[in-house]
Amino acid sequence: MTRVAAIDCGTNTIRLLIAEAHRDDSGRPRLEVLRRRNEIVRLGQGVDRTGLLDPEALERTLAAVASYAADCAELDVAPGGGVRRFVATSATRDARNREDFVAGVRRLLGIEPEVVSGQEEARLSFTGSLLGARGGEDDPAAERSECEPAPRLVVDLGGGSTELVLGVDEPSAAISLDTGSVRITERFLAGGVNPEAEAAARAEVRGLLDEAERVVDLSAPGRLVGLAGTITTVTAHALNLQAFDPQALNGAELSPQAVLASCEAIIHSTPEQRASWGYLAPGRRDVIAAGALVWSEVVTRVVERTAAAGRPLARVTTSLYDILDGIALSLVPEPGPAEGGRA
């Protein structure tokens, strides 16, 4: 086994996963989790408007990185890029002063952070999602025919970008859209949700989905899999949870109608209601309406397209396995000659 550390730094959240990485008897990569951490630091605060990382946001994020470096030392993760990987996504991609951030991470962790493309972000999200959302033989969505498995559409809805990835065991088509909970909030909903702002936000997301359909066939999936904090929040609301419950959330399957009903309730919720939801982190309360709006538009579009194709979408699956797990899986050593023969 190899002990690895993966860090995913997005627009709203930074997360750490330390795990023992290995391959099973069939050669598939596996992770035995030792520690997970999650902090809402809002690195992307104002980036959409200014094109710069805010100094306070940068300070918050680097403080979390320093804490993660201490976790790596405590759990004996070896130094170096072979077992540590730091991936930065939308906010860092868009910031003109990202070198300040890169230098800080390099100083604290001793590795070069990767400011990955939207396509690489999509690939890592899809790979991670497969740990928790594999269709089994008894899954009617897993097969379209004996010879043609139905693909899944994986949606990673972040703060600054949303990735749509279609595939079976690996991506066949993917796109990264410049929309997410923080970006939509700052552009349209900073003053709250009202009919005009909601209409403008929905129009923007629909336009981006039109663009996505030139790359990803939204009529194709037999299963829709949602990742990340907005989607787990919508799922928790639909399940009427009292607190964040990983066992209830991971692999949860809901009808599209239930998902859309919870999205609408969240979009039009009051601050008091959001504060009462034990599953909603305080740092996500001000952007969850925007995230639910984006998710509602994605689900609606997929429902419309699959129905028109004669393969109506029956359910929406939530996975807690996502880009962070994909980053860790990328650190699993390749099999040697003997192992490769087993795969």
For 199-222, how does the pLDDT look when each residue is reduced to its tens digit (9 = 90+)? 999 999 999 999 999 999 999 999
Instruction: Output the pTM of the full model.
Output: 0.89
Burial of 25 (0-12, 13-18, 19+ CB in 10 A): exposed
d(CA 26, CA 342): 6
CATH annotation of 2-117: 3.30.420.40
Neighbouring residues of 50: CB distance < 8 A, sequence distance ≥ 6: none
Is residue 119 a contact partner of residue 92, using CB atoms and an 8 Å limit?
no
Q: What is the pLDDT of residue 134?
A: 45
Contact 266, 289 (CB under 8 A): yes
Pairing of strands 253-254, 316-319: antiparallel
Among 120, 90, 70, smallest CA distance to 186 is for 90
The reply to whether domains 2-117 and 132-320 share a CATH topology is yes
The per-residue pLDDT for 28 is 85
148-181 per-position pLDDT tens digit: 678 999 999 999 999 999 999 889 999 999 999 9
Radius of gyration of the chain (CA): 20
Which residue bears the tokens 């504060």? 275
Of the candidates 294, 152, 165, the one whose C-alpha atom is nearest the C-alpha of residue 229 is 294
C-alpha closest to that of 326 among 99, 95, 167? 167
Domain layout of the chain by residue ranges? 2-117, 132-320
**Alpha helix locations (H) across the chain?**
47-50, 55-74, 90-94, 98-109, 118-129, 181-184, 195-212, 229-238, 246-249, 256-267, 271-276, 288-308, 323-329, 337-342
Which fold would CATH assign to domain 132-320?
Nucleotidyltransferase; domain 5 (3.30.420)
**Residue 324: closest CA among 89, 98, 27:** 89
Residues of the chain with pLDDT under 50: 134-146, 340-343
Position 139 scores a pLDDT of 40
Residue 228, sorted as left (phi over 0), alpha (psi -120 to 50) or beta, turns out to be left
Cβ-contact 10, 160 below 8 angstroms: yes
pLDDT of residue 24: 85
